[in-house]
């Protein structure tokens, strides 16, 4: 290779490396600034302060920050009483800034990242800062930890209705309770088709239809836990973590009790 060719080759190589670096930096910035998951992961760099370990509050938040730890601790206690042992340790992010809420991807939900180490990020606005909602999201975090820890996953290995049904066990709002279930099922005369609310179909429809999905999911999971026990739920989630099929494990447990 001549001196001129070597110089040209080095120039091409340098351009390629520079372009690669620019693309990597751009992707990095985009992820942590413009995607909900990335924004939550880097929340400490977006105008939030750490109120206490794993609790971040918008620096411009005008609500009562003194009450926040008490509310969260009460929700955590409810979660602990349900599971008996809590392994998850989610990050809770609080803001009333509409722009920041948009970047967080919602004003009351949980996002879980599962790449061996499981991390859940919960965002809340003051409208949803209560024990029921926080306990609901904390239960999601624990469920996700139990099915994802030690694995890499980009899919939800349990149906949405089951995931939400578990979370609703710690959500005591009457709109999802047993009385609501009686009316939603027309005094048990209406057969519930869970196949119809699998996947994102769960969240589609008008407000009444979505509420119905939550109500029947809560009752179905409650009934299953009463029949099988909380340890069976833990075993089912562990079986799924090990690669088991949800419906096979779920129906197997139901059949064992009948």
C-alpha angle 122/106/65, rounded to 5°? 55
Residue 256 confidence (pLDDT): 56
Token digits of residue 13? 């190589």
How would you write 68-128 as a 3-class SS string?
HHHHHHHHHHHHHHHHCCCCCCCEEEECCCHHHHHHHCCCEEEEEEEECEEEEEEEECHHH
Give the pLDDT confidence score for residue 28 in this predicted structure.
80
Dihedral sign for Cα atoms in the order 141, 146, 151, 156:
negative
Kind plus residue range of the DSSP H or E element containing 8 = helix 3-34
pTM: 0.90
Measured CA distances, 156 to 112, 161, 231 (Å): 10, 11, 21
The stretch 225-248 carries a mean pLDDT of 96
Taking the alpha carbons at both ends of the chain, their separation in whole angstroms is 79
Task: List, for residues 185-229, the tens digit of each pLDDT value.
Answer: 998 899 999 999 988 899 999 999 999 999 999 999 999 999 999
State the average pLDDT over residues 127-153.
Answer: 96
Residue predicted with more confidence, 19 or 127: 127
Contact assessment for residue 161 and residue 217, using Cβ atoms and an 8 Å cutoff: yes
User: pLDDT band at residue 258, thresholds of 50, 70 and 90?
Assistant: very low
Could you tell me which residues come within 8 angstroms of residue 13 by beta carbon, excluding any fewer than 6 positions away? none
Q: What does the alpha-carbon distance between residue 113 and residue 119 come to, in Å, rounded to a whole number?
A: 5
Higher-confidence position of 151 and 235: 235
**What are the tens digits of pLDDT across the range 83-118?**
999 999 999 999 999 999 999 999 999 999 987 789
When pLDDT is cut at 50, 70 and 90, the band that residue 19 belongs to is: confident
Q: Is 106 left (phi over 0), alpha (psi -120 to 50) or beta?
A: left
The whole-chain average pLDDT of the chain stands at: 92
Strands lying side by side in the sheet with 108-115: 48-52, 55-58, 91-94, 117-124, 108-115
Q: Which of 147, 155, 135, 111 is nearest to 234 (CA)?
A: 147
Contact 56, 48 (CB under 8 A): yes
Q: Helix (H, G, I), strand (E, B), or coil: what is residue 56?
A: strand
3-state DSSP assignment of residue 160: helix
């Amino acid at each position: 290779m001549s001196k001129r060719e070597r110089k040209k080759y080095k120039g091409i190589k340098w351009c390629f490396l520079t372009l690669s670096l620019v693309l990597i930096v751009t992707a990095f910035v985009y992820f942590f600034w413009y995607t909900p998951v990335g924004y939550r992961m880097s929340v400490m760099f977006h105008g939030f302060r750490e109120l206490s370990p794993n609790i971040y509050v918008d620096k411009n938040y005008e609500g009562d920050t003194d009450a926040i730890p008490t509310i969260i601790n009460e929700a955590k206690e409810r979660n602990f009483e349900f599971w008996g042992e809590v392994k998850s340790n989610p990050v809770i992010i609080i803001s009333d800034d509409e722009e920041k809420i948009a970047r967080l991807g919602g004003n009351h939900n949980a996002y879980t990242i599962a790449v061996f180490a499981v991390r859940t990020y919960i965002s809340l606005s003051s409208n949803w800062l209560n024990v029921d909602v926080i306990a609901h999201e904390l239960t999601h975090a624990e469920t996700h930890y139990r099915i994802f820890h030690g694995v890499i996953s980009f899919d939800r290995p349990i149906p949405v209705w089951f995931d939400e049904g578990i979370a609703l066990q710690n959500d005591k709002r009457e709109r999802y309770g047993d009385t609501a279930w009686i009316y939603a099922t027309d005094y048990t005369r209406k057969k519930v088709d869970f196949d119809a609310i699998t996947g994102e179909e769960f969240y589609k429809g008008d407000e009444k239809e979505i509420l119905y999905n939550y109500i029947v999911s809560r009752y179905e999971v409650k009934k299953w836990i009463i029949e099988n026990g909380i340890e069976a739920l833990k075993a089912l989630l562990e079986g799924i973590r090990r690669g088991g099929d949800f419906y096979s494990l779920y129906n197997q447990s139901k059949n064992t009790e009948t």
